[in-house]
Amino acid sequence: MPEYPYSLIRPTFIYQYIMSSKTEAEALKAEGNKLVQQRNWAAAAKKYEKATAIDPSCAIYWSNLALCYSKMDLLIEYKTAATKTVKADPSFVKGYVRLANAHHRLFLNSKMKWKL
């Protein structure tokens, strides 16, 4: 095989790698969505966690992960995922809704602890 300068090979390779990774992340998201419909929050969260590991810049993956954490009452993780949703895409309104809900639930949870 002849030697080629990196400038000719590398961009094509990187593009193919990125596209296959995004396709894999979308497949994981689709699997997670099916699990959410079945209300299997823990299994869906694992799918979304893998998707966010592949493409951390996608706000939808973070938002879906936040939903799962919310349903499992993992409030700290919920807040973290909601924060990453907003950081990934500041124009994604649902991220702010999830973040506000996480803060509200954390506040209520802290008030309940003081009442005990």
Q: Which two tokens stand for residue 44?
A: 């869906």
Between CA 63 and CA 66 the distance in angstroms is: 5
Q: What percent of the chain has pLDDT over 90?
A: 72
What are the sequence ranges of the domains in the chain?
Answer: 6-115
Assess whether pLDDT exceeds 60 at residue 109. Answer: yes
As a whole number, the mean pLDDT across the chain is 87
Measuring CA to CA, which residue among 54, 63, 107 is closest to residue 84? 63
CATH fourth-level superfamily of 6-115: Tetratricopeptide repeat domain (1.25.40.10)
Assess whether pLDDT exceeds 70 at residue 6. Answer: no
Between CA 21 and CA 9 the distance in angstroms is: 19
55-78 pLDDT, tens digit per residue, is 999 999 999 999 999 999 999 999
pLDDT band at residue 13 under the 50/70/90 scheme: very low
H helices then E strands: how many in the chain?
5, 0
